């Protein structure tokens, strides 16, 4: 959330406003959106304490439900966990986030947009590895059969014990990890004030810091060691088992062509790589981008929009020369400072973040390369622009076991919220050449870039030739993965393998599995090649956004209440994403207002500003309050003076500050405010303050 206009509000503006009314509101809002009270200066603390209301999830939920941002799907049939429908403001908010995403990435970076199918034949996901490995670990309550996600069970129980320990010690919960506020989660992992030994606290914290690093059997071990049972029943749970998250289907009437609903949009990009490359005149780097639905049969979704079974993703696949991962626009972002949680800190069982510029992070090897760093920075800029609070945004690096073996580096944009604490909302991975290599190996289509060389290249290198029959017979569906892993070896690795095979069987790791190779399966020879063309499989940097998670966190970060009307909330959504930009409020329902209301509506429409008329039979104050709940940033009031003098007042949602001007000037100012070409401080310089409170309340 940017408070730029509040901070930079000129004195001229403040003087013309009722200070005692406005200041508490501003500071209440700052407090609510800041990570700690340290964000507020000492001079303002007393005001804050009088006016601030702690974040209240129950109130936010009531607002989102009442105003139909979203609601459980199939509700009148009892609902289905993890499926939600968006109502009018939720749909508009989502559409506006996506529109800004398209502007920020597709248009700004000249990306190639695609729209590929959701239903995907099984061989695609067999090749990509999803059929074998797109799975989570689940455990079953041994008595009532309830199914729980293994890592979430460990997390919930240990966090609840730590919370109980803090209660017993009389220590307030750490602001970085707010206590779960929704009732279901409380039921899941009830806290009891029990003091733990210091060593146990340290051990729990260490486990939580590296939770994503544990395998299923390791999670099972933790459950035994730490006596973790199902919190809702107290019953023991069984051994963790893998559960594939893809929804299976079949294509056509025979049932002979199995397929899946895609769990991500990425494969659709990769399969069209050759066409996209041709579209881009055969050159890299370039990126494809896609916004679309994805489906995951989540084991036990209990976290609202944060974990659903059907959701909108926005994904970018940026194809880059593996020998040159520099980015031409890196200098634009190099000085941007980010909060980073690197893998070494986590592996040491800690969660201490550090502030670093992107330039520094790449230079010191914390972020693997410029292109990855560039996208991490662009993700940050996008999230902050749409209203995510930058003090509640960090980038966490994946630990070794968490990352696919082929990926060279991966960073998640995590946004803090009251349901999941720090939650991954965007993943950004360097996936190396894996995806294109496996699809090329499987389909025999060359998914490569061919680059003309000025000088012919003569090189001697080791190449592997496979006996495909033997390989297929031995490794079946994994044959492609094995050959891709061998081909991905560098010169030294290839020669080492050759040496090993001359001695006997050799093992190779692919997709976290070990495969034993025998000399009859392949031969490795050094050969001389002369070529005028360099052929290579590009590496892929993939930023992958979950729109629903971002949308929910944005709603939390934008929500606050005015001290004089705690019951009603305000959503301080930036104009760029707000569902409606301007509310048109006629003071009276009398017919003489109609032509003016129509004229103002038409003018806003022509200016491309989404406006809505509220001519309901209720007070203006109530009408504005209702629209504060919808996040409408501006309101214009048409009163009797408007009819006579063609003037109109303009109200800003967060400060409730009011300005006055001619209808033409107000519309022009609002248009610029909505386009982001001016801020409220500048609007205040154009339009004088309106002090006729009694005329509009």
Ligand X SMILES: Nc1ncnc2c1ncn2[C@@H]1O[C@H](COP(=O)(O)OP(=O)(O)OP(=O)(O)O)[C@@H](O)[C@H]1O
Neighbours of 409 (CB within 10 A): 22
Contact 261, 119 (CB under 8 A): yes
**CA-to-CA distance for 318 and 539, rounded, in angstroms?**
8
**Cβ-based neighbours of 694, under 8 Å, separated by 6 or more:** none
**Cβ-based neighbours of 285, under 8 Å, separated by 6 or more:** 318, 319, 320, 321, 327, 371, 538
CB nearer ligand X, residue 296 or residue 659: 296
**CA-to-CA distance for 286 and 271, rounded, in angstroms?**
15
- Long-range contact pairs involving 38-42 (C-beta distance under 8 Å, separation at least 24): 39/391
Interface region with ligand X, contact rule CB under 6 A, candidates 112-120, 326-334, 422-430, 474-482: 422-430
User: Which listed residue (214, 311, 319, 552) binds ligand X by CB under 6 A?
Assistant: 311
Contact 541, 430 (CB under 8 A): yes
Contact 623, 613 (CB under 8 A): no
CB nearer ligand X, residue 16 or residue 91: 91
CB of residue 381 vs ligand X: minimum separation in angstroms?
17
**Cβ-based neighbours of 334, under 8 Å, separated by 6 or more:** 357, 358, 359, 362
Contact 355, 342 (CB under 8 A): no
CB of residue 307 vs ligand X: minimum separation in angstroms?
4
**CA-to-CA distance for 316 and 429, rounded, in angstroms?**
11
User: Which listed residue (57, 396, 549, 623) binds ligand X by CB under 6 A?
Assistant: 549
Residue 509: Cβ-neighbour burial (10 angstroms; 0-12, 13-18, 19+): exposed
CB nearer ligand X, residue 290 or residue 544: 544
The owner of tokens 């330039």 is: 359
Q: Does 296 bind ligand X (CB under 6 A)?
A: yes
Interface region with ligand X, contact rule CB under 6 A, candidates 33-41, 51-59, 545-553, 611-619: 545-553
User: Which listed residue (342, 424, 430, 639) binds ligand X by CB under 6 A?
Assistant: 424
CB of residue 413 vs ligand X: minimum separation in angstroms?
8
**CA-to-CA distance for 583 and 613, rounded, in angstroms?**
6
Parallel, antiparallel, or unpaired for β 647-652 and 634-638? antiparallel
User: Which listed residue (139, 425, 462, 683) binds ligand X by CB under 6 A?
Assistant: 425
Q: Does 398 bind ligand X (CB under 6 A)?
A: no
Q: Which of residues 97-136 bind ligand X (CB under 6 A)?
A: none
Residue 416: name the closest of 346, 353, 330 by CA.
353
CB of residue 180 vs ligand X: minimum separation in angstroms?
16
Q: Which residues are 269's β-sheet partners?
A: none
Interface region with ligand X, contact rule CB under 6 A, candidates 14-22, 423-431, 483-491, 652-660: 423-431
CB of residue 493 vs ligand X: minimum separation in angstroms?
28
CB of residue 548 vs ligand X: minimum separation in angstroms?
5
Contact 195, 165 (CB under 8 A): yes
Q: Which of residues 604-633 bind ligand X (CB under 6 A)?
A: none
Structure letter (DSSP) for residue 504: S
CB nearer ligand X, residue 313 or residue 361: 313
Report DSSP letters for 92-137, one per residue.
HHHHHHHHHHIIIIIITTTPEE----SEEEHHHHHHHTHHHH-EEE
CB nearer ligand X, residue 338 or residue 687: 338
CB nearer ligand X, residue 34 or residue 417: 417
CB nearer ligand X, residue 426 or residue 670: 426
Q: Which residues are 531's β-sheet partners?
A: 457
Interface region with ligand X, contact rule CB under 6 A, candidates 53-61, 194-202, 229-237, 418-426: 418-426
CB nearer ligand X, residue 286 or residue 311: 311
CB nearer ligand X, residue 302 or residue 562: 302
CB nearer ligand X, residue 429 or residue 510: 429
User: Which listed residue (93, 106, 114, 308) binds ligand X by CB under 6 A?
Assistant: 308
User: Which listed residue (546, 574, 633, 635) binds ligand X by CB under 6 A?
Assistant: 546
Report DSSP letters for 615-677, one per residue.
--SS-HHHHHHHHHHTT--EEEEE-HHHHHH-EEEEEETTT--EEEEEHHHHHHHHHHHHHTS
Q: Which of residues 186-215 bind ligand X (CB under 6 A)?
A: none
Q: Does 266 bind ligand X (CB under 6 A)?
A: no
CB nearer ligand X, residue 165 or residue 264: 264
CB of residue 547 vs ligand X: minimum separation in angstroms?
8
**CA-to-CA distance for 551 and 279, rounded, in angstroms?**
33
CB of residue 504 vs ligand X: minimum separation in angstroms?
39
* # chain residues binding ligand X, by CB under 6 A: 15
Q: Which of residues 245-264 bind ligand X (CB under 6 A)?
A: 264
Q: Does 307 bind ligand X (CB under 6 A)?
A: yes
CB nearer ligand X, residue 425 or residue 620: 425
Contact 65, 71 (CB under 8 A): yes
Neighbours of 201 (CB within 10 A): 16
User: Which listed residue (129, 548, 579, 661) binds ligand X by CB under 6 A?
Assistant: 548
- B/e letters for 497-506, b = 16+ CB within 10 Å, e = fewer, are bbeebeeeeb
CB nearer ligand X, residue 149 or residue 442: 149
Q: Does 298 bind ligand X (CB under 6 A)?
A: yes
Distance of CA 358 to the CA centre of its chain: 19
User: Which listed residue (261, 291, 313, 462) binds ligand X by CB under 6 A?
Assistant: 313
CB nearer ligand X, residue 399 or residue 426: 426
CB nearer ligand X, residue 154 or residue 630: 154
Q: Does 684 bind ligand X (CB under 6 A)?
A: no
**CA-to-CA distance for 22 and 40, rounded, in angstroms?**
16
CB of residue 317 vs ligand X: minimum separation in angstroms?
13
User: Which listed residue (92, 389, 483, 544) binds ligand X by CB under 6 A?
Assistant: 544
Q: Which residue is nearest to ligand X (CB)?
A: 546
CB of residue 505 vs ligand X: minimum separation in angstroms?
35
Q: Which of helix, strand or coil describes residue 689? A: strand
Q: Does 150 bind ligand X (CB under 6 A)?
A: no
**CA-to-CA distance for 612 and 592, rounded, in angstroms?**
19
Interface region with ligand X, contact rule CB under 6 A, candidates 84-92, 420-428, 526-534, 627-635: 420-428
CB of residue 545 vs ligand X: minimum separation in angstroms?
6
**CA-to-CA distance for 410 and 415, rounded, in angstroms?**
16
Contact 381, 100 (CB under 8 A): no
User: Which listed residue (124, 314, 367, 426) binds ligand X by CB under 6 A?
Assistant: 426
**Cβ-based neighbours of 209, under 8 Å, separated by 6 or more:** 346, 349, 350, 351
CB nearer ligand X, residue 428 or residue 441: 428
Q: Which of residues 493-532 bind ligand X (CB under 6 A)?
A: none
CB nearer ligand X, residue 388 or residue 611: 388
Interface region with ligand X, contact rule CB under 6 A, candidates 266-274, 541-549, 631-639, 650-658: 541-549
**CA-to-CA distance for 576 and 560, rounded, in angstroms?**
19
The structure tokens listed for 370 are: 């410029």
Residues in contact with ligand X by CB under 6 A are: 264, 296, 298, 307-308, 311, 313, 424-427, 544, 546, 548-549
């Amino acid at each position: 959330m940017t408070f730029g206009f509040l901070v930079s509000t000129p004195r001229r503006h403040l003087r013309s406003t009722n200070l005692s009314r406005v200041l508490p509101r501003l500071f209440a809002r700052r407090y609510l959106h800041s990570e700690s009270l340290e964000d507020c200066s000492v001079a303002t603390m007393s005001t804050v304490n009088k006016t601030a209301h702690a974040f209240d999830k129950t109130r936010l939920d009531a607002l989102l439900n009442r105003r139909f941002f979203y609601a459980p799907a199939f509700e009148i049939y009892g609902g289905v966990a993890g499926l939600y429908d968006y109502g009018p403001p939720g749909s508009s908010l989502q559409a506006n986030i996506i529109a800004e995403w398209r502007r920020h990435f597709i248009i700004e970076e000249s990306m190639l947009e695609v729209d590929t199918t959701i239903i995907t034949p099984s061989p695609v996901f067999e090749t990509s590895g999803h059929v074998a490995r797109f799975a989570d670990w689940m455990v079953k309550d041994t008595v009532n059969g309830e199914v729980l996600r293994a890592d979430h069970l460990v997390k919930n129980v240990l966090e609840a014990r730590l919370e109980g320990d803090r209660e017993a010690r009389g220590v307030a919960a750490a602001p970085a990890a707010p206590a779960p506020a929704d009732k279901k989660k409380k039921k899941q992992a009830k806290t009891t004030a029990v003091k733990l030994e210091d060593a146990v606290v340290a051990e729990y914290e260490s486990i939580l810091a590296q939770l994503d690093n544990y395998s299923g059997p390791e999670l099972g071990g933790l459950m035994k060691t730490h006596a973790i049972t199902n919190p809702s029943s107290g019953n023991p749970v069984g051994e963790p088992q893998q559960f594939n998250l893809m929804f299976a289907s079949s294509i056509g009437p025979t049932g002979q062509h199995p397929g899946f609903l895609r769990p991500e949009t990425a494969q659709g990009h990769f399969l069209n790589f050759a066409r996209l490359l041709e579209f881009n005149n055969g050159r890299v780097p370039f990126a494809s981008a896609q916004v679309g639905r994805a489906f995951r049969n989540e084991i036990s979704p209990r976290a609202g929009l944060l974990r659903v079974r059907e959701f909108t993703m926005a994904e970018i696949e940026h194809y880059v020369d593996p020998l040159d991962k520099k980015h031409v626009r890196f200098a634009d972002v190099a000085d941007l400072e980010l909060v980073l949680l690197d893998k070494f800190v986590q592996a040491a069982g800690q969660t201490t973040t550090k502030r670093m510029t992107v330039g520094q992070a790449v230079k010191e090897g914390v972020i693997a390369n410029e292109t990855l760093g560039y996208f991490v920075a662009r993700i940050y800029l996008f999230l902050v622009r749409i209203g995510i609070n930058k003090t509640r945004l960090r980038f966490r690096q994946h630990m070794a076991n968490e990352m696919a073996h082929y990926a060279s580096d991966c960073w998640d944009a995590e946004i803090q919220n009251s349901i999941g604490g720090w939650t991954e909302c965007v993943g950004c991975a360097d996936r190396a050449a894996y995806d294109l290599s496996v699809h090329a190996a499987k389909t025999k289509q060359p998914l490569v870039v061919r680059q003309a060389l000025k000088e012919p290249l003569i090189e001697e290198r080791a190449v592997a030739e496979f006996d495909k029959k033997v390989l297929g017979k031995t490794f079946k569906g994994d044959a492609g993965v094995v050959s891709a892993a061998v081909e991905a070896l560098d010169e030294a690795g290839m020669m080492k393998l050759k040496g090993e095979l001359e001695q006997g069987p050799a093992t190779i790791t692919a997709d976290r599995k070990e495969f034993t190779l025998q000399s009859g399966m392949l031969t490795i020879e050094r050969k001389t090649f002369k070529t005028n063309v360099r052929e290579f499989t590009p590496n892929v940097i993939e930023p992958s956004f979950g729109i629903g998670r971002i949308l929910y966190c944005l709603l939390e970060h934008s929500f606050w209440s005015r001290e004089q009307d705690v019951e009603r909330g305000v959503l301080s959504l930036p104009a760029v994403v707000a569902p409606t930009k301007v509310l048109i409020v006629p003071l009276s329902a009398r017919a003489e207002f109609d032509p003016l209301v129509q004229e103002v509506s038409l003018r806003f429409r022509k200016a491309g500003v989404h406006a809505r008329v509220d001519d309901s039979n209720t007070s203006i104050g109530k009408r504005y309050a209702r629209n504060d709940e919808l996040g409408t940033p501006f309101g214009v009031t048409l009163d009797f003076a408007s009819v006579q003098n063609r003037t109109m007042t303009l109200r800003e949602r967060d400060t409730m500050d009011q300005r006055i001007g001619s209808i033409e000037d107000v519309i022009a100012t609002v248009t610029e405010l909505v386009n982001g070409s001016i801020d409220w401080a500048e609007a205040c310089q154009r339009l004088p303050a309106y002090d006729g409170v009694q005329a509009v309340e």
